[in-house]
Structures are given as C-alpha cells and as structure tokens.
C-alpha cells in the first residue's frame, strides 16, 4: 500500500516568506507627507542666488552713490551762490566813486590854524578829514573816494578840511615819515595853494599805490623824494626847495597834536581815516556816504 506524503513536506503559510508591503512615508504634523528630497528655503542658493544678492547690493550702492552725488551737487551750487553773492557785495562796497573824473582841477587851498582847507567858492557842506600819511586804509580811502571828493570840491559842493596826523611815525623806516609827508603837503598848501587843483592832486599822489610807503617796511620816502613827487604833480620848483629842506616839519608836528586831540574828542579814539561833519563822525563804511551827504 502506498504511503501518503507527510504534512511536514508541504509548505505552509507559516513557513512561506511573505512579501511586505512598501512602507508609507511618515506624515508631517499637519497631515502633509514628508518628502525625501532636499529642503528648500526662501533664500536663493547656488550661483544664481549669489548673483541675485550681488545685484541687489550693487543696486543699493548705486542708489547711495547717486544720492551722495545729488547732495554734493546741491552743496557745490549753494557754495558757488554764496561766493558769487559775496563777490557782488564786495565789488559794490569797493566801487570807486566818481571814477573817471581824475585829479582836482578848480579847487584852491588855504591854511589856517594848521588846517588845510580846500574848496571852490563858499560850499554849503564842510567835511573834516583826518589822515596819516602812512596809513594804508587812508590809501584805500583815497583810491575809492579821492576822485569824488575832488569833483565835489571843484563843483563848489563841499569844502574839505585836511587834518594830518603822525601817530604812525614809529611804523615807518625813518621813524618820522608821517610828519614829513604832512610837512610836504603843508608846504604845497602854504606856498602854492592858490593854484587850482594842485593841493588835492599832490594829496592824492602821497597816498597812491606804489608811492605811499608800507607800514613796517625797510624804507620810505626821503624829503628829496617827496620834493620830486611834488614837482611831478605840478608843484613849482620854489616849493620843491622848501619840501627838501623840511621847512614845515615843526609846524606839521604841532598840527598833528592839535588834530589828534580833535579826533579823539569827537570819536573817543584816534584812528584814520575819520571824516566828521559838524563834529560828528560820518559812516564812511557806507559806499554812498558822500553821495547821500551832498544829495
């Protein structure tokens, strides 16, 4: 009799390996399946990301540079405007009054109590002018107003009383130039003041740039040089001798003392140039001071 096969030789479900189903991806909180790929963020990555950042920085830098250029340009324009306005104001304040008139032509001079008076006829206005022959500001004053003063004196509109001081003697090389320059002017006024225009012409020459000595310089003008200057302006040879000999030096010294006391009493100090009318200082820092005075 044939034998039946044993159950041990049959494969059973318990012993047969079963294929496992593929595992499902774990769920993220919120129910979304997790991805196995690389995470992405909002920031650009790689070469293209670096280029984007560089471009952004470049744009920011360009905007910053443009802003700085605009601010710089505005600043330059403002500075230029201030400079231009300053130049215009300075030019206006330093404008030569009566420019083109030239030297005095008709006024004559007399001397009384050490004061040199220059006029034509009997003008309604008298101004007192205090100066020192070495004073550089007096030189600037003569350059700016000398022609206008000469014109108004020639036209009989003003009488000019010249008061020459000598407080700057010590600032001259000779230590007495202010006095000697005053003495030269006094010689011309005393001996040739009746010649029309002569005194104011020589007065202008004394303060002319290139002729007037510089404060503290190593040299000034000798009496002989002052005499030569006078002759060049038309002063007669006879007056030249008086200037060269210093004939009026003592008188000029006394006159300077009187003039110093007068200006000090009127202003409380001694400074040149000072212009008075009726004992009161005129505001000569106003470029139109004489124009407005004459009207």
235 is in which domain, residue-wise? 108-294
Residue-level pLDDT at 20: 45
What are the residues whose beta carbons fall under 8 Å from the beta carbon of 129, sequence distance 6 or more? 160, 161, 162, 163, 273, 274, 275
pLDDT digits (tens, 9 = 90+) for 84-130: 555 455 556 789 999 999 999 999 999 999 999 999 999 999 999 99
Q: What is the pTM of this model?
A: 0.72
Indicate whether 176 belongs to any domain: yes
Using the structure block, give the residue that is written with the tokens 């008086």.
242
Is 252 inside a domain boundary? yes
The predicted model gives 54-68 an average pLDDT of 72
Closest CA to 246 of 189, 187, 164: 187
**Any bridge partners for residue 108, and if so which?**
119
The separation between the first and the last C-alpha atoms of the chain, rounded to the nearest angstrom, is 166
3-state secondary structure of 4: coil
What is the average per-residue pLDDT within 203-210?
Answer: 97
CA distance 88 to 109: 38
- In the block, residue with structure tokens 């049959």: 10
212, part of any domain: yes
The number of folded domains in the chain is: 1
Split at pLDDT 50, 70, 90, the class of 60 is confident
Tens-place pLDDT, residues 137-192: 999 999 999 999 999 999 999 999 999 999 999 999 999 999 999 999 999 999 99
Tell me, yes or no, whether 183 lies in a domain.
yes
CATH number for the domain harbouring residue 285: 3.40.30.10
DSSP reduced 3-state for 144: helix
Q: Name the pLDDT band for 11 (thresholds 50, 70, 90).
A: very low
Phi, psi of 191 (to 5 degrees): -100, -20
| Residue 175 placed within a domain | yes
Distance CA 93, CA 287 (A): 6
Look at residue 66 and tell me if it is in a domain. no
Q: Which two tokens stand for residue 75?
A: 């600043």
How many CA atoms within 13 Å lie on the side-chain side of 49?
A: 7
**CB-side neighbour CA atoms (13 Å) of 161:** 20
Q: What is the pLDDT of residue 186?
A: 98
Q: How many CB atoms lie within 10 A of CB 116?
A: 25
**Between 167 and 34, residue with greater pLDDT:** 167
């Amino acid at each position: 009799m044939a034998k039946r096969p044993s159950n041990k030789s049959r494969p059973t479900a318990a012993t047969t390996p079963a294929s496992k189903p593929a595992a499902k991806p774990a769920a993220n909180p919120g129910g979304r399946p997790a991805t196995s790929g690389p995470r992405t963020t909002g920031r650009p990555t790689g070469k293209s990301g670096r280029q984007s950042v560089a471009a952004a920085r470049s744009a920011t830098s360009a905007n910053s540079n443009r802003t700085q250029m605009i601010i710089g340009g505005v600043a330059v324009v403002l500075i230029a405007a201030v400079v231009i306005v300053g130049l215009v104001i300075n030019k206006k304040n330093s404008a030569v009054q009566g420019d083109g008139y030239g030297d005095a032509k008709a006024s004559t001079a007399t001397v009384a109590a050490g004061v040199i008076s220059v006029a034509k006829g009997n003008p309604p206005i008298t101004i007192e002018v205090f100066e020192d022959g070495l004073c550089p500001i007096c030189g600037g004053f003569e350059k700016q107003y000398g022609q206008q003063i000469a014109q108004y004196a020639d036209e009989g509109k003003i009488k000019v009383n010249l008061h020459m001081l000598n407080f700057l003697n010590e600032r001259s090389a000779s230590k007495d130039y202010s006095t000697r320059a005053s003495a030269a002017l006094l010689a011309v006024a005393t001996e040739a003041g009746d010649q029309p225009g002569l005194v104011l012409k020589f007065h202008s020459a004394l303060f002319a740039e290139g002729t007037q000595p510089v404060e503290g310089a190593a040299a000034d003008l000798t009496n002989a040089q002052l005499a030569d200057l006078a002759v060049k302006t038309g002063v007669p040879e006879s007056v030249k001798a008086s200037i060269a000999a210093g004939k009026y030096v003592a008188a000029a010294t006394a006159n300077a003392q009187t003039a110093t006391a007068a200006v000090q009493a009127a202003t409380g100090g001694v400074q040149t140039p000072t212009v008075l009318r009726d004992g009161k200082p005129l505001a000569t820092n106003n470029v139109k001071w004489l124009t407005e005075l004459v009207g």
